[in-house]
Structure 1
Amino acid sequence: MWTKEFFGTDVYHLVSAFVIYSMLGWLVESIYMSFCNRRLTNRGFAKSPFCPIYGFGAIIGYLILHPLDGHFFKLYLLGALMATVFEFLVGNLMLKLFGEIWWDYKDKPCNYKGIICLESTIAWGFYAVIIIVFLHSKIIGFIDSWSFSMGSRVCSLILAIVTIDYIIQLSKAFGIDIRERCADKYESFKARWY
């Protein structure tokens, strides 16, 4: 599985980069929001330092935009547009699933329904240039500095922890008591065998 290729990159590098971008995105946003709020702020949905929207955004953006490396103006414009559309789609999906969005741009000038705003669009363009021109090659170099066996284990462990964390948080968001369900399943299993 790790060696299959998509868009000229193997799954191992895509997944590893996804993990790193998700953690970096959480870090940057949490630092920014902590500064804005003047108190420590966890900007992730779950308890773990992981925001998958940044991982997906960076990987999808890289796969689509890397041919524009060296064409800064086109890269900036297309990166800003793509990220804004992505943010808008994710925001609408969150509204449908949870009835709310986990960010609010209503106080920002030039916003649309508090989901997207001009300030973020401008920032997304700069992020696209930074990722394509400078950051992605460094991240791939970091991934390659680990042995494949160690890197795949670390990625698998991080993704397992994040998956458990997200299951717990999603169950809380939807009002599902996991402990009660697990206890019921255990009692049912026990009743069949004892």
Structure 2
Amino acid sequence: MLVAANLILSFCIYSFLGWLCETVYCSLPKGELVNRGFLSGPFCPVYGFGALLVVYLLRPFARLPVLLFLAAVVLTSALEYATGYLLERLFHTKWWDYSKRALNLHGRVCLRNSLLFGLMASFVVLLLDPAVQRLLLRLPEIFSLLLAAAMVCYFVADTVGTVRGILSLQEHLEKLEALREEIREKTRRYHEEFEQNILERREELAESRQERREQMQARIDALTRQLSGMRLSSRHIHRRLLRAFPGMRSQRHQGGLEQMREALEELRCQRRENQK
């Protein structure tokens, strides 16, 4: 039991450290805190899994630093690629995109990140993991067991909440896309009917044409207001995910996603103006 508990706690430590590195790396250029995590809490599980894989698979190479580094580059790149692929298939969304970076593979991995992950993995195997294991061995056994159980419950709850938030984001984007399509269709029909009335019945339908025009315009205005409201009505987790993954692209509802990004940018600009 203690071995399993220490494994869980190691996963939590590495998930937190991964989240911390990602958050600092992404927050400094923007000058604001960005919760750079898939989950709502301060953890990036992919770093936890990655660190454990690196430690247990690459420990035999600890005495060969160059070979350790090369193996770490391959292993962490494979993990990042597989994670990106699975997330795209599960949620029909591309969470990060390295397509503009040199030597990338399908936008899911790139050489720069792979080299950085290789260095980090080597550091974990050679220096960090031994220190983490010494720390965990100093904890009382009952404390380790209770803390591990609590962390499992936390991760399950956070994962369920995050997945539900992502699914609701997809639903929100679908509604936005449907509204945009309806506006386009209403506008197209409005122009078609207007042109047809001009050609077929100029005088006798002038009054009804005007009434029809006003009705159609009112419907378009109402849809536009509804669209504007939906752009601003996203849940907190939607806004957090958009800030955390600025390169996110929806495979089905990219138009709705861009609408939400524009709305969030407008809100940020308004807040900056209010603070002046």
Q: What TM-score results when the alignment is normalised by the length of structure 2?
A: 0.59
Choose which of 157, 161, 164 in structure 2 pairs with 1:168.
Answer: 161
1:111 equivalent in alignment to 2:109: no
Moved over 4 A (4+): none
- Residue 158 of structure 1 deviates from its aligned partner by 2.2
Choose which of 59, 65, 81 in structure 2 pairs with 1:88.
Answer: 81
* Contact 1:22–1:50 (CA under 8 A) maintained in structure 2: yes
Q: Structure 1 unaligned runs (5+)?
A: 4-9, 178-194
Give CA-to-partner distance per residue, 1:132-183, whole Å, 9 cap, x none. Answer: 1000001111111211111221122122122212111101212399xxxxxx
Give CA-to-partner distance per residue, 1:65-90, whole Å, 9 cap, x none. Answer: 00111100000000001100111111
CA–CA distance in 1 between the matches of 2:98 and 2:139? 39
Q: Which amino acid aligns with 1:43?
A: R
Task: Tell me the residue number matched to 2:120.
Answer: 127
Give CA-to-partner distance per residue, 1:36-79, whole Å, 9 cap, x none. Answer: 32221111112111111001000011110001111000000000
1:15-94 alignment to 2 at 5 Å? 15-94=8-87
- Residue 95 of structure 1 deviates from its aligned partner by 0.7
Q: Which amino acid aligns with 1:77?
A: L
* Contact 2:39–2:162 (CA under 8 A) maintained in structure 1: yes
**How many residues were matched structurally?**
170
Task: Tell me the residue number matched to 1:97.
Answer: 90
Change (3 A) 1:101 1:141: farther
* Contact 2:15–2:45 (CA under 8 A) maintained in structure 1: yes
Q: Structure 2 unaligned runs (5+)?
A: 172-276
Q: What TM-score results when the alignment is normalised by the length of structure 1?
A: 0.82
Secondary structure, counterpart of 1:114 in structure 2 = coil
* Contact 2:14–2:51 (CA under 8 A) maintained in structure 1: yes
Report the structure number with the largest CA radius of gyration.
2
CA–CA distance in 1 between the matches of 2:99 and 2:28? 19
RMSD of aligned residue pairs (Cα, Å): 1.7
CA–CA distance in 2 between the matches of 1:12 and 1:164? 18
Structure with a larger share of its residues in helix: 2
CA–CA distance in 2 between the matches of 1:101 and 1:68? 34
* Contact 1:27–1:49 (CA under 8 A) maintained in structure 2: yes
